[in-house]
Structure 1
Amino acid sequence: MLEEIIIAGFGGQGVMSMGQLIAYAGMLEGKGVSWLPSYGPEQRGGTANCVVIVSDEPVGSPLVTTPSAAIVLNNPSFDKFEPRVRPGGLLIVNSSIVVRNSKRKDIKIIELTATDIANDLGNARVANLILLGAFLESTRIVSPESVLESLKKVLSSDKHHLLEINKKALQKGASLLEVVRT
């Protein structure tokens, strides 16, 4: 198993946290992982992306040009990374923000109104976890339990009161995909 994932959006949308969660979860499960962040001109409000690799084998290089999956949270990220997803790959889109639609027929596309759903849960900032839940349900590269355990490391201790809402968001994203699947 080898998953090469690009996660991209504006700074402040939790792009880096999503990548860290996948990487930490992979480490907890004894997999080979790599996490490579890339920031735009500003951390908050500018564009940001990270590349995460999870493999059953050691990871030789953190660089990815044609990812097996992309999770995009804004229009510039959609424009940049949608064409790069390899045929047979997966594209997950926050359709609350991304107004474009992919015309590709050679990839699986999941569009979720993640920001709207997060608002319904009571916290717009967990849109990233909704998308992550859908990604995990679709790929099963790491378990949700490992991601939740990793969340304790990614969130600083003063933010641990947010663990429950993040857990709900992760579960909501997975449940939305279960509905799509049936």
Structure 2
Amino acid sequence: MVHEIILAGFGGQGILMAGKLLAYAGMLDGKHVSWLPSYGPEMRGGTANSSVVISDRPVDSPVLYSCNELIVMNRPSLDKFENLVEEGGVIVMDSSIVDRDVKRGDIESFKVPATKMASEMGNMAFANIILLGKLIKERKTVTVDNLEKALYEVLPEKKRNLIPMEIKALKTGMEYI
């Protein structure tokens, strides 16, 4: 199985961190992985995206021209990346911010009000983790246990106190219907 994932949104939404978490969890799952972050010079408020490949076989290239899984946290990202999702793929979007539906009928889409849910949890920075939770539940991209372990490896020391809430956010996303 090959998971080719693009995560996209505004800088500051945790897009690069979410991609790094997925890649690290994939590595812990014993898979071959690549992680390619990309962001504009503005970073905060500019666009950011991250390409992740998690595969049973070696990854040929970290550059993705199409994907089978897409997480979008803003409308410009949906507009830009929707057509890159392969038939039968999935889009998980933050419906608190993305103000339109997916136009295609050959893919699955899930609307999760992640920013609103994260705000209700007391920290809007959890929105990316909520969306990861939904993706993992729907596509089995990585194991939950290894994503939780990846939090301890990827988050900087000063943010590790947030890990119990990050895990709660992950499970909140997984439980969202």
1:167 maps to amino acid: I
2:95 maps to amino acid: S
Richer in strand (by share):
2
Structure 1 CA distance, aligned partners of 2:71 and 2:158?
28
State the secondary structure of the residue aligned to 1:89.
Answer: strand
Q: Give TM-score, length-normalised by structure 2.
A: 0.98
Structure 1 CA distance, aligned partners of 2:127 and 2:138?
17
The residue aligned with 1:131 is: 131
Structure 2 CA distance, aligned partners of 1:45 and 1:110?
24
1:63 Cα deviation from its structure 2 partner: 1.3
Corresponding pairs, count:
177
1:106 maps to amino acid: D
State the secondary structure of the residue aligned to 1:87.
Answer: strand
1:157 Cα deviation from its structure 2 partner: 0.6
Percent of residue pairs bearing the same amino acid type: 49
Structure 1 CA distance, aligned partners of 2:83 and 2:18?
21
1:82 maps to amino acid: E
The residue aligned with 1:13 is: 13
State the secondary structure of the residue aligned to 1:26.
Answer: helix
The residue aligned with 1:97 is: 97
1:155 Cα deviation from its structure 2 partner: 1.0
1:68-87 matched pairs, under 5 angstroms: 68-87=68-87
Structure 2 CA distance, aligned partners of 1:157 and 1:83?
38
Structure 1 CA distance, aligned partners of 2:125 and 2:141?
24
1:41 Cα deviation from its structure 2 partner: 2.5
State the secondary structure of the residue aligned to 1:135.
Answer: helix
Structure 1 consecutive aligned stretches of length 4 or more whose deviation exceeds 2 Å? none
Structure 2 CA distance, aligned partners of 1:95 and 1:128?
12
Matched, 1:160 2:160: yes
2:104 maps to amino acid: R
Structure 1 CA distance, aligned partners of 2:153 and 2:46?
25
Task: Give ranges in structure 1 of 5+ residues lacking alignment.
Answer: none
Structure 2 CA distance, aligned partners of 1:23 and 1:119?
26
1:158 maps to amino acid: K
Matched, 1:150 2:118: no
The residue aligned with 2:62 is: 62
State the secondary structure of the residue aligned to 2:59.
Answer: coil
Structure 2 CA distance, aligned partners of 1:50 and 1:158?
23
Structure 1 CA distance, aligned partners of 2:155 and 2:43?
17
Structure 2 CA distance, aligned partners of 1:132 and 1:46?
21
2:128 maps to amino acid: N
1:141 Cα deviation from its structure 2 partner: 2.0
RMSD: 0.8
The residue aligned with 2:40 is: 40
1:123 Cα deviation from its structure 2 partner: 1.1
1:86 Cα deviation from its structure 2 partner: 0.8
Structure 2 CA distance, aligned partners of 1:168 and 1:84?
31
